[in-house]
């Protein structure tokens, strides 16, 4: 196990915006949002199980979906193996998805009734194969296509440079030819200017009569120069290209060698792979051609497990994996989950409202209430010595197979409040029996409570309430009830 | 138990006939619910506990369900023999049900007040001796037979005052302020704070716990002699479930009605029930007082079920579970239905079905087990 956590979630937020009504719009009221996950910080180490418990509406499923990037976070950071994945998109995201698999709650709805077992369980393998093939094709095309462009650019550059050099050469050649022609015209002829003989003579005048001097040659025209000294011929593009060798575009064969396609996935190979997977989740190997409706609830959930584990993910998000199952079947699935984790060193994010399941499977547990984590720590610490009043209430509310609880009455009242623009302060304050004024004004932060068993708690009164047992939130039926019972009978 | 039971189920067997297949969902179940008692029925999915619950008020769709045999004695009549169109007179004030999903049991098109008031006014009409049967529950028209001209038979039927009565009842509810007070009383009875605002809301505007409380208020307002609660808290959250269970426990004390409480959660049953029946594959395998049954299970299935609830940590070793699967009820195993998964199965279990209602030694009164070797059960590791 490395020291680096597998998943680092810090201050993660997911707000689902609400549509404003016309009245709200014209009054200019701000857009409201459901604060499903509101500033959650949690880490998952490789090979570790983190349990998320809370009631429905506490945002635990949203958090799981965020970690699997099935939702896009609206704030905060989300790191997987040190890499920020909150903003991944497109093919990058698609490639990253192999690290995380999800097992959904509803074993009926999450399996396509028209696919057979080998198709359902093999689906992730097939999807990855198709994706890899597409990636290889794209990479090859890019490899060849990019050189194409390069070559094109190089050739254009080469031609332009030739044209430029040629023009320069022409100018130089013409100037030189002109000078030569002038010189040739001047030789064996009287100096062009009789009126002004070169100075430096004796000053004596030459007695001969001046011969009629030829006309001073004017600057030659281009045509005249070319007629006297022909320019080398202009090269064609093709000739230029032949002179300068360029890198060649790689052939298809080279591209294939550089970016090989994954080995072809035949139906037989896929079926074999699924067949090898089925015993590890406790299913018979001869059920490849059955349909999901032929399985019981536990069998369907095993299919979901097989589908998640067949691609060897590093993290599996288990979203209520056993809620739809009976107790005995639930025990089988939980045992299998623990065994699989031991064999494959996979990390779990176990989302459930079933405290018993979390107790058995998880190493650490985070308790969520209305989008925030109220308590996080080891399973022993949180479940044996809960500090936060909500954790205590949750544990006290669990129905236990113990006939003595018949005389007990649950003391926490009220309903889970709305998540739309929640007020400041502790979210549990309206239902909390230990509430003080500070709880309604100030947001509690997660902090380690001295004296508790190492867990972090978001409660202002953590020190005061940590010694109160969860059972004290139950009262005996014999005690008078706070609210007068109804008068009707 | 000197007085007669409120409902007495004797040797009830129910089949589902689907195509050529025949699934025995409930076979030879006997159960007595006494006045003021809460009887729990627990079992896995598909063990027939909901079928049993729905068979008592004859809410099962027949067909495909088919009551093969047995009797359901309620208020001196055998409900199996009562024609279906007469059942609505017994439902409501006689037998009432709370279902799992409260949103499905409340009418989404009516306000809470209308729904609770209708239940109360129907009870008032019944108390005055009037028959209130809505037109839907008339005997179904039998196309296979020509209409009889037997005037005597036609006269012997009660006059069925169609849907108008329901409408009249609703109008009457609006006109009568005392009815409104009674509605408020029942809503207060189920601990709804501020019931005046609830009255004008629709079911979808309430939370799950509130809906279930309104449902309980409606059911209680009809003052049924028997209440069948079919997984009333399964769709609720843990803390809300605890609130509803607390409410039900208090109401059991106050209202003193008999309840048949169906659940798959042993914890919920432990908190509410006085007596508990454990069902497996359509059979009642064990029955007894809750405390004694939990302390002293005398059927291997009950013991396995009790031990399967996970209460331990990962480091404590694997959870105990029941090997194998629930048997296919179209071809149930011969003999005792649990024997393929039973740790103490012997050849006799394969041949003979378990004994019916045999009290093993060393248990409380009324504690019976359907195991041949009930004495060996405490020795199972």
Choose from B124, B271, B280, B326 for mutation: most chain A CBs within 10 A. Answer: B271
Mean pLDDT throughout B29-57?
87
Are A488 and B210 a contacting pair at CB < 8 A?
no
Residue B178 and residue B63: Cα distance in Å, rounded?
43
Distance from CA of B51 to the nearest CA of A (A): 17
> Looking at residue A219, what is its pLDDT?
63
Distance from CA of B109 to the nearest CA of A (A): 23
Residue A486 has pLDDT above 50, yes or no: no
Are B44 and A329 a contacting pair at CB < 8 A?
yes
pTM of this prediction? 0.73
Helix locations, chain B, DSSP H: 49-55, 87-90, 102-105, 112-127, 151-156, 164-175, 177-189, 195-199, 208-221, 238-255, 266-272, 290-295, 300-308, 347-351
> Looking at residue B153, what is its pLDDT?
57
Are B271 and A406 a contacting pair at CB < 8 A?
yes
Q: Which of A334, A353, A481 sits opposite B237 (nearest CB)?
A: A353
Q: Which of B185, B291, B318 sits opposite A486 (nearest CB)?
A: B185
CB A17 within 8 A of CB A35: no
> Looking at residue A212, what is its pLDDT?
52
CATH class of residue range B7-136+160-273: alpha beta
Q: Which residues contact A440 (CB under 8 A, 6 or more apart)?
A: A423, A425, A426, A429
CB A390 within 8 A of CB A369: yes
Residue B115 and residue B139: Cα distance in Å, rounded?
25
Are B255 and A356 a contacting pair at CB < 8 A?
no
Does the complex come out with an ipTM higher than 0.85? no
Mean pLDDT throughout A205-213?
48
Domain boundaries, chain B: 7-136+160-273, 278-379
Are B271 and A408 a contacting pair at CB < 8 A?
yes
Residue A198 has pLDDT above 50, yes or no: no
Are A328 and B314 a contacting pair at CB < 8 A?
no
List the 312-331 stretch of B: residues with Cβ below 8 A of A.
312-314, 318-322, 325-326
- Kindly identify which residue of chain B lies nearest to residue A390, measuring between CA atoms: B239
Residue B369 has pLDDT above 80, yes or no: yes
Residue from B211, B223, B217, B220 nearest B184 by CA: B217
> Looking at residue B356, what is its pLDDT?
75
Q: Is B167 on the interface with A (CB under 8 A)?
A: no
Give the residue with greater pLDDT, A28 vs A246: A28
Residue that the structure tokens 């956590």 belong to: A5
CB A454 within 8 A of CB A380: no
Give the residue with greater pLDDT, B247 vs A189: B247
Are B318 and A296 a contacting pair at CB < 8 A?
no
Q: What is the DSSP string of A425-481?
A: S-TTTTT-TT--HHHHHS----EEPTTSSS-EE--TTHHHHTTS-GGGGEEETTSPP
- Kindly identify which residue of chain B lies nearest to residue A489, measuring between CA atoms: B255
Task: Spell out the domains of chain A, with CATH numbers in brackets.
Answer: 7-114+298-476 (3.40.50.300), 115-183+221-290 (no CATH)
Q: Is B249 on the interface with A (CB under 8 A)?
A: yes
Choose from B316, B321, B329, B367 for mutation: most chain A CBs within 10 A. Answer: B321
- Kindly identify which residue of chain A lies nearest to residue B311, measuring between CA atoms: A356
Distance from CA of B270 to the nearest CA of A (A): 5
> Which residues in chain B touch residue A106, judged by CB atoms under 8 angstroms apart?
none
The 10 Å Cβ neighbour count of residue A251 is 10
Q: How confident is the model at residue B131 (pLDDT cuts 50, 70, 90)?
A: low
Residue A50 has pLDDT above 90, yes or no: yes
Q: How confident is the model at residue A324 (pLDDT cuts 50, 70, 90)?
A: confident
> Looking at residue A193, what is its pLDDT?
44
Distance from CA of B85 to the nearest CA of A (A): 30
Are B319 and A394 a contacting pair at CB < 8 A?
no
Residue A487 has pLDDT above 50, yes or no: no
> Looking at residue A191, what is its pLDDT?
44
Q: Which of B271, B311, B321 sits opposite A328 (nearest CB)?
A: B321
B184-198 confidence digits (pLDDT tens): 888 888 777 778 878
Give the burial class of B332: count Cβ atoms within 10 A of its Cβ; 0-12 exposed, 13-18 middle, 19 or more buried. Answer: middle
Q: What is the mean pLDDT of chain A?
A: 80
CA end-to-end distance (rounded Å), chain A: 64
> Looking at residue A274, what is its pLDDT?
94
Residue A217 and residue A185: Cα distance in Å, rounded?
7
Most confident of A429-433, A468-472, B251-255: A429-433
> Which residues in chain A touch residue B278, judged by CB atoms under 8 angstroms apart?
none
Give the residue with greater pLDDT, A158 vs B229: B229
Residue A230 has pLDDT above 80, yes or no: no
Residue B199 and residue B195: Cα distance in Å, rounded?
6
């Amino acid at each position: 196990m490395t020291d680096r956590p597998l998943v680092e979630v810090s201050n993660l937020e997911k707000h689902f915006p609400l549509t404003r009504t016309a009245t709200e719009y014209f009054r200019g009221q701000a857009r409201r949002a459901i604060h499903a996950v509101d500033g959650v910080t949690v880490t998952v180490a490789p090979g570790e199980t983190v349990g998320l418990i809370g009631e429905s509406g506490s945002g635990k499923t949203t958090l799981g979906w965020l970690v699997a990037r099935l939702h896009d976070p609206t704030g905060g950071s989300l790191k997987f193996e040190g890499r920020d994945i909150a903003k991944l998109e497109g093919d990058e995201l698609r490639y990253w998805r192999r690290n995380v698999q999800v097992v959904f709650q509803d074993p009926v709805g999450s399996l396509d009734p028209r696919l057979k077992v080998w198709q359902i369980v093999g689906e992730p393998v097939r999807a990855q194969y198709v994706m890899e093939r597409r990636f290889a094709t794209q990479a090859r095309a890019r490899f060849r296509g990019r050189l194409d462009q390069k070559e094109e650019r190089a050739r254009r550059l080469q031609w332009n440079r030739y044209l430029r050099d040629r023009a320069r050469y022409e100018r130089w050649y013409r100037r030189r030819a002109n000078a030569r022609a002038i010189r040739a015209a001047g030789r064996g002829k009287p100096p062009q200017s009789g009126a002004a003989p070169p100075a430096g003579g004796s000053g004596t005048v030459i007695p001969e009569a001046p011969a009629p001097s030829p006309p001073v040659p004017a600057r030659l025209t281009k045509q005249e120069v070319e007629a006297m000294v022909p320019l080398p011929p202009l090269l064609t593009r093709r000739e230029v290209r032949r002179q300068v060798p360029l890198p060649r575009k790689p052939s298809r064969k080279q591209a294939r060698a550089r970016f090989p396609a994954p080995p072809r996935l035949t139906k037989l190979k896929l079926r074999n792979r699924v067949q090898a997977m089925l015993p590890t989740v406790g299913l018979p190997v001869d059920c490849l051609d059955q349909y999901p409706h032929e399985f019981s609830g536990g069998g369907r959930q095993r299919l979901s497990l097989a589908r998640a584990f067949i691609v060897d993910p590093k993290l599996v998000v288990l979203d209520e994996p056993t809620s739809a199952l009976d107790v005995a079947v639930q025990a089988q699935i939980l045992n299998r989950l623990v065994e699989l984790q031991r064999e494959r060193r996979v990390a779990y994010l176990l989302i459930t409202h079933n405290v018993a399941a979390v107790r058995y499977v998880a190493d650490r547990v985070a308790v969520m209430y209305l989008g925030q984590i109220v308590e996080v720590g080891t399973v022993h610490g949180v479940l044996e010595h809960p500090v936060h009043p909500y954790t205590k209430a949750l544990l006290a509310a669990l129905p236990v197979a113990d006939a003595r609880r018949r005389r007990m009455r649950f003391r926490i009242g009220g309903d889970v409040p709305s998540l739309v623009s929640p007020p400041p302060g502790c979210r549990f304050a309206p239902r909390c029996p230990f509430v003080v004024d500070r709880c309604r004004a100030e947001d509690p932060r997660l902090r380690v409570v001295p004296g508790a068993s190492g867990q972090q708690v978001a409660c202002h009164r953590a020190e005061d309430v940590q010694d109160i047992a969860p059972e004290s939130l139950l009262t005996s039926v014999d005690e008078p009830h706070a609210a007068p019972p109804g008068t009707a009978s | 138990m000197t007085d007669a039971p409120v409902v007495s189920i004797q040797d009830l067997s129910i089949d589902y006939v689907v195509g050529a297949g025949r699934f025995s969902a409930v076979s030879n179940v006997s159960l007595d619910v006494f006045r003021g008692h809460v009887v729990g029925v627990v079992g896995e999915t598909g063990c027939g506990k909901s079928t049993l619950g729905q068979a008592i008020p004859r809410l099962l769709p027949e067909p495909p369900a088919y009551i093969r045999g047995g009797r359901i004695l309620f208020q001196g009549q055998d409900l199996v023999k009562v024609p279906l169109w007469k059942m609505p007179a017994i439902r409501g004030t006689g037998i009432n049900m709370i279902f799992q999903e409260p949103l499905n049991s409340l009418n989404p098109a009516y306000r809470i007040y209308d729904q609770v008031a209708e239940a109360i006014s129907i009870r008032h009409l019944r108390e005055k001796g009037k028959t209130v049967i809505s037109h839907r529950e008339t005997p179904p028209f039998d196309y296979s037979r020509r209409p009889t001209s037997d005037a005597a038979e036609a006269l012997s039927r009660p006059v069925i005052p169609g849907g108008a009565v329901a409408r009249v009842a609703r109008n009457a509810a609006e006109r009568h302020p005392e009815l409104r007070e009674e509605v408020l009383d029942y809503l207060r009875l189920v601990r709804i704070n501020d019931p005046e605002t609830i009255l004008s809301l629709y079911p979808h505007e309430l939370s799950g716990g509130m809906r279930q409380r309104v449902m309980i208020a409606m059911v209680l307002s009809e003052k049924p002699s028997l209440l069948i609660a079919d997984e009333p808290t399964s769709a609720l959250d843990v803390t809300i479930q605890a609130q509803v269970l607390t409410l039900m426990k208090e109401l059991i004390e106050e209202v003193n009605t008999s309840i048949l409480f169906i659940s798959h959660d042993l914890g919920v049953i432990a908190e509410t029930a006085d007596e508990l029946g454990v069902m497996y594959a359509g059979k009642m395998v064990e029955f007894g007082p809750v405390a004694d049954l939990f302390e002293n299970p005398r059927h291997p299935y009950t013991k396995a079920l009790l031990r399967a609830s996970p209460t331990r940590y990962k480091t404590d070793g694997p959870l105990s579970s029941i090997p194998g699967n629930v048997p296919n009820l179209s071809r149930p195993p011969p003999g005792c239905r649990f024997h393929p998964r039973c740790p103490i199965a012997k050849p006799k279990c394969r041949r003979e079905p378990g004994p019916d209602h045999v009290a093993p030694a060393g248990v409380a009164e009324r504690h019976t087990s359907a195991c041949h070797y009930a004495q060996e059960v405490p020795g199972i590791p």
